[in-house]
Chains A and B, each alone.
Chain A
Amino acid sequence: MNINRRNFLKVGLAGSAALVIGGPTKSLAAEQFTGWPDRFGILVDTTLCIGCRTCEAACNEANKLPTPKEPFDDYSVFEKKRRTDAGTYTVVNRFANPKPGGEPIYVKKQCMHCDEPACASACPVKAFRKTPEGAVVYKKNLCIGCRYCMIACPFNIPAYEYFNAFTPLVRKCTMCFDIRIEKGKIPACVEACPMEVMTFGKRSEIIKLARQKIMAHPDKYADQIYGENEVGGTGWIYLAEVPFEHIGFRTDLGIKPYPELTKGSLGMVPIVIALWPALLMGLYTFSKRRSKSAETETMDSEEKEAKQ
């Protein structure tokens, strides 16, 4: 093919135009990932929870976790606020009811199974993955143990086996993905709860359920669904009698998905790689020319001096 400037421009323009207008419009929409459509979620209605710790026991058994120091019928554990650890995927905490004369409020805590998980985006080896079913699961054969997921998690959920010398793992709730959901069963804690605090179902459905509950009993619920939008939406969503900041939830996390926070910075990487070398070579050429002209100047003046 005979390439002259006109042809080159024609082909180039046509190509660019094809890129701009020719692609399927889907690519414009792909920016907005709203999550796997059929993912599961769990609604926790904290107004029903009586703090019996049956869910903790069921979780412990289903996941074959070590037997804890305090047995599951020991209610003195509520004296302190607990968090998840390497041997505990879920804990129930007790909060004083801010309403005068109100009953204490019990809140179950476990991995929130974010729609766009911070842990997964932070992991340098892709050890975390959000499954289409909605669980955030962990590949133990990839984990290097950098614990960046623990830094990244806005809910402080992942825990580390610090006392396992050779094969330590990050441990957290899996939504019973491989042990139950894949076998068509619901998570152990949901099944075990005697008060039916938790409802397992399609996330889209349980959000509707939460709305219905609030609408049916506006006196019983604070008008807020925690997890619907927090950090871009979570798999576990909560209803409560009082505003969530009173019962140990962070309400300052925003609704932006956490992976977005590092997106801009990572997006600069290819730009720097592409532009820096050219820029630096330019600087180099400039400084070289400057020093050369300085040299010739000195030489000129020296010659003049010699002549004089």
Chain B
Amino acid sequence: MTENRRTEYSLRQWITDKIFLGMTIGEYIKRSITPFNIVAGLILIAGLYASIIRFIKGLGPSTNLSDTYPWGLWIVDLLNYVAFGATGYTIVTAVHLLGLKEYRPIVRPAILIGFLGYLFVGISLLYDIGRPLRLPYPLFVSQGTTSVMFEVALCVFLYLTVLFLEFLPAPAEWLGLKKLRGWLAKITLALSVFGLTLSTLHQSSLGAYFLIAPGKLHPLWYSPYIPVFFFVSSVIAGLAMIIFVSMLSHRVFSSQGEHYDMAPTTPQPPLLRGIKRDNNFDKLTIGLGKAASITLLSYFCIKWLGVAHGNHWGLLKTPLGYWFLVEVLVFVLLPCFLYAWGVRQENATIVRFTSMFTIIGIMVNRINVTLVAFNWNAEVRYFPSWMEFAVSFTFITLIILIFRWIANRMAILYEHPEYKDAH
């Protein structure tokens, strides 16, 4: 009986169900013509043109990089993908290692963001390095073991694999691969431990990239603690990103009905005790805001340790010193207070607004370290070319499109009905 049904279930039907969400191709295309998609399409066309120039004519004609500024916008992007990819390990650690089970509903979107972020780290590198086909060289041909970059390459490669395996249960459910799904469930804990270990290493090592350039990075940003700054700020980035993405996905995917994280939880989880909101989604957001506020406060303190360690107080009274104060007061301390205020008021909207503000703050920090405070004393300054921007926006657009494609098909924001309680 089942055998018969399986053969009757033709490939055509399968494609219609799985790929075109039960619509005919014509319908699907018609439904896809939306203002958002048209804008996305235009960005992709610009990015495609820039990509062709990059790969046919080289880095010179497509970018504004120079001998003084060998790293530009694409490296900033890469640092940001890794920082915001921290959603994966942050939420996985909270749920699987610290046992904060109430956050289980956001594990899958968090892993998906992390996976896509790290995937685009690799893709950015293909654009940025001069010999893209040699990308595997550090791992497989000649290991530069004294290089921070070698360590990052190894960790990022391994962690991308971990994220892929952590993400795999969703496509396994989608394709009905129960055995694979079951096997993956068994290695969850191992993956969580391995993932956090790798993340600790490479998140901090991205900061350690700059340890070798004390003469180039402004003393207010250069610090022996810069690896710690990068690691702690990645937690902030991860928390802000998951708050932001949850907010967006609730609007965009509202047609999916009851989202997993809307369901009320019993008993009241300890972190959220005393918070009275009508749905669990707001409660989770407020809980995440609480964690973000505390992390921001720690980060604010250690940033000053950096200044104190080098005794650079005098530099605060210079133009770049004012800019440092803007970064630390406006983009670190202010969101710390805003989150705390949102938590205090039990107002998820404040927390969501603050998450967007924090995301900008993290980007500002990565831009400062790579471009503004780097070569601060050089005569030549760098500003990205339009093609560098086009490629950047193309990657961000692609991340959004892929996320949407997957969330429309797989159990990312809701629980797959056949696998409830199968953790």
Q: Please name all residues of chain A whose beta carbon is closer than 8 Å to the beta carbon of B97 when the two chains form the complex.
A: 280, 283-284, 287
Q: Does B312 contact A (CB under 8 A)?
A: no
CB distance from A277 to the nearest CB of B (A): 5
Contacts A151-B213, A252-B215: A125 and B197 contacting too (C-beta < 8 A)? Answer: no
Chain B 207-249 interface mask (CB, 8 Å, partner A; 1/0): 0111111111000000010010000000000000000000000
Q: Which residues of B are in contact with A by a Cβ distance under 8 Å?
A: 55-61, 63, 65-68, 70-71, 96-99, 101, 128-131, 134-135, 137-138, 141-144, 146-151, 153, 189, 192-194, 196-197, 200-201, 204-205, 208-216, 224, 227, 267
Q: Indicate if the CB atoms of B189 and A284 lie closer than 8 Å.
A: yes
Q: Does A258 contact B (CB under 8 A)?
A: yes
7 tightest Cβ-Cβ pairs between the two chains A and B: A145-B130, A287-B99, A165-B58, A162-B60, A147-B70, A163-B60, A150-B70
CB distance from A296 to the nearest CB of B (A): 13
Q: Does A17 contact B (CB under 8 A)?
A: no
Q: Indicate if the CB atoms of A168 and B59 lie closer than 8 Å.
A: yes
Contacts A144-B129, A160-B67, A291-B101: A276 and B143 contacting too (C-beta < 8 A)? Answer: no
Q: Please name all residues of chain A whose beta carbon is closer than 8 Å to the beta carbon of B189 when the two chains form the complex.
A: 284
Q: Which residue of B lies closest to A287 (CB)?
A: B99
Q: Does A261 contact B (CB under 8 A)?
A: yes
CB distance from A138 to the nearest CB of B (A): 13
Contacts A262-B148, A265-B205: A298 and B67 contacting too (C-beta < 8 A)? Answer: no
Chain A's interface size range is: 35 or more
Q: Please name all residues of chain A whose beta carbon is closer than 8 Å to the beta carbon of B193 when the two chains form the complex.
A: 276-277, 280-281, 284
Q: Which of A36-44, A53-61, A116-124, A196-204 forms contacts with chain B?
A: A116-124
Most buried by A among B66, B96, B135: B66
Q: How far is the CA of A126 from the CA of B215 in the complex (A)?
A: 23
Q: Please name all residues of chain A whose beta carbon is closer than 8 Å to the beta carbon of B61 when the two chains form the complex.
A: 163
CB distance from B129 to the nearest CB of A (A): 5
Which of A124, A148, A156, A166 is the one whose CB lies under 8 Å from B68?
Answer: A156
* Between-chain CB contacts (< 8 Å), 17 pairs: A121-B146, A121-B212, A122-B148, A124-B150, A125-B150, A126-B144, A143-B131, A143-B134, A147-B130, A151-B70, A151-B71, A159-B67, A166-B58, A254-B214, A262-B148, A262-B212, A272-B200
Q: How far is the CA of A277 from the CA of B97 in the complex (A)?
A: 11
Which of B67, B129, B204, B205 is the one whose CB lies under 8 Å from A146?
Answer: B129
Q: Indicate if the CB atoms of B213 and A152 lie closer than 8 Å.
A: yes
Q: Please name all residues of chain B whose beta carbon is closer than 8 Å to the beta carbon of A281 when the two chains form the complex.
A: 193
